[in-house]
Amino acid sequence: MNEDLKMEEARKRVKALKGFYMNLFFYITINIFLIIVNLVTSPDRLWFYWVLFGWGIGIAFQAFSVFGKNAIFNSGWEEKKIKEYMDKNK
């Protein structure tokens, strides 16, 4: 693979990661706001969890597409953490 293709793939990956983290930030921020609004205006009738659940499904699918099936604790993550702890304890 030549350097131009590698660079283009890296840019696509970074763009996908940036998009995921931006969506996650907005998901958390807006849902906190909606929870507060719901609890202040109509605490007897909770509706915020519908937005939380529906949007959460979208975030989960996006995470799967960005990180793959081993999104959280893949072998690369384990090796990275082992190295991090070994370097920290030197």
For the whole prediction, is pTM greater than 0.85?
A: no
70 pLDDT higher than 80: no
Report the length, in residues, of the chain.
90
1-38 pLDDT, tens digit each = 688 888 888 899 899 999 999 999 999 999 999 999 99
Could you tell me if residue 21 is left (phi over 0), alpha (psi between -120 and 50 degrees) or otherwise beta?
alpha
Task: Kindly indicate the confidence band of residue 74, based on its pLDDT and cuts at 50, 70 and 90.
Answer: low
Give the integer Cα–Cα distance in Å for 18 and 11: 10
85 pLDDT higher than 90: no
Task: Kindly indicate the confidence band of residue 84, based on its pLDDT and cuts at 50, 70 and 90.
Answer: confident
